[in-house]
Amino acid sequence: MKQTLEDIANAMVAPGKGILAADESTGTIKKRFDSINVESTEEARRDYREMLFSTKSAMRKNISGVILFDETIRQSSANGKQTLVEMMQSSGSIPGIKVDAGAQGMAGFKGEKITDGLDGLRARLKGYHRLGARFAKWRAVIDIAPGTPTYGCIRANAHALARYAALCQENGIVPIVEPEVLMDGPVAAHSIERCYDVTERTLKIVFSELYEARVNLEGIVLKPNMIVPGKNAAKPASAVQVADMTVKCLKACVPTAVPGIAFLSGGQSDIEATEHLSLMNSRHDVPWNLTFSYGRALQAAALKAWGGIPANVKAAQAAFAHRAAMNGLASKGKWTTAIEKAT
């Protein structure tokens, strides 16, 4: 039976499950591999991602879908027996694809960025659908610094997100709408209150643009930042404060028609990202499923344990399965430090 956009979106945010962001572009994965002294070849990238996608317990129980990069959606396993897409499908996980072409300097807006990738997007989406993708991702980047972000930058990024989302839905693909207010930009000295204000403004404009573009909100997943201070902020925030302010901001901005919100980790530590998500779910009643769509916070421990050495695959898979399980608990508000340490 054909799945509707709503079916797919609901499956992506099912309780206990969340999304693995493994869509690092070639430059970003190189940086990750540099940190473990591994050369970023096509084969090494395949081996690393195959290791994650073949972690059966995590993929079956806690990973509803995986965001892939263009190279990965076309790759096969090392033994050539199946494509990586088939591998994740066999565990019941949905393949997704990053379709933006990255954030570039925005002409006329010094220090601000606009995400590229709308040209030819309709044809690319049709191709990705044939390859098995049932959801996509587009990330807009909003940086906080003295005098920025400007309305012009937020508006242009929100408009692009809305045009992308409409094209995805036209092609049977659920759009993940990711407007990321950075916590680790070049300055990143802002307070948690400033993050709240900028995120609120950004989300208000994004949902206005989605409405104008006639996007069906029941068939999207929102991927926002949490409300956190910049990484160089003078004053830290408590985990409870992050959870409460994030939920308050989302309640002020996100229509209840949206089935789910899957957060990015944005530079938080693994444990912080898990704790914040769990506190949101345990402390608040919300009309959406709140879950994770983490890149770094799901992969960091596994990447380190792997180190590019085949003999470490089992340990790395155990590290990935552990993080996925902890975040699965957090999506139900059931994670605790005691469970984190005991398992």
Active site residues: 178, 223
Q: How far is CA 269 from CA 154, 246, 299, in A?
A: 27, 17, 11
Angle separating helix axes 313-330 and 296-306, nearest 10 degrees: 160
**CB closer to ligand 5MM out of 239 and 257:** 239
- Contacts of 298 by beta carbon, 8 Å cutoff, 6+ apart: 20, 21, 265, 270, 292, 320, 323, 324, 327
Asked if omega into 149 is within 30° of 0 (cis), the reply is yes
Q: What's the CA gap between 31 and 24, in Å, rounded?
A: 10
Task: Please report whether residue 237 would count as binding ligand 5MM according to CB under 6 A.
Answer: no
Candidate residues 138, 294, 306, 335; the one interacting with ligand 5MM per rule CB under 6 A: 294
Task: Please give the backbone phi and psi of residue 192, each rounded to the nearest 5 degrees, phi first.
Answer: -65, -30
The amino acid occupying position 162 is A
Q: Are 233 and 269 within 8 A, CB to CB?
A: no
The number of CA neighbours under 13 Å toward the Cβ of 172 is: 13
**CB closer to ligand 5MM out of 73 and 211:** 73
Task: Please report whether residue 23 would count as binding ligand 5MM according to CB under 6 A.
Answer: yes
Task: Please report whether residue 3 would count as binding ligand 5MM according to CB under 6 A.
Answer: no
To ligand 5MM, the closest distance from the beta carbon of 29 in angstroms equals 7
To ligand 5MM, the closest distance from the beta carbon of 138 in angstroms equals 9
Candidate residues 13, 21, 217, 247; the one interacting with ligand 5MM per rule CB under 6 A: 21
DSSP conformational letter for 148: B
Backbone Cα Rg of the chain = 19
**CB closer to ligand 5MM out of 17 and 296:** 296
Q: Quick one: which segment of 23-31, 114-122, 200-208, 282-290 binds ligand 5MM (CB under 6 A)? A: 23-31
To ligand 5MM, the closest distance from the beta carbon of 57 in angstroms equals 21
Q: Enumerate residues 249-278 that contact ligand 5MM by CB under 6 A.
A: 264-266
| Structure-token pair, residue 94 | 């949905």
| Structure-token pair, residue 65 | 């879908």
Q: Quick one: which segment of 205-213, 233-241, 243-251, 295-303 binds ligand 5MM (CB under 6 A)? A: 295-303
**CB closer to ligand 5MM out of 23 and 340:** 23
**CB closer to ligand 5MM out of 219 and 266:** 266
To ligand 5MM, the closest distance from the beta carbon of 168 in angstroms equals 16
**Residue 124 region, left (φ>0) first, then alpha (ψ -120 to 50), else beta?**
alpha
Task: Please report whether residue 24 would count as binding ligand 5MM according to CB under 6 A.
Answer: yes
To ligand 5MM, the closest distance from the beta carbon of 243 in angstroms equals 17
Task: Please report whether residue 176 would count as binding ligand 5MM according to CB under 6 A.
Answer: no
Cα dihedral across residues 237, 241, 263, 204: positive or negative: negative
* Residues making contact with ligand 5MM (CB under 6 A): 21, 23-25, 28, 67, 102, 139, 180, 264-266, 294-297
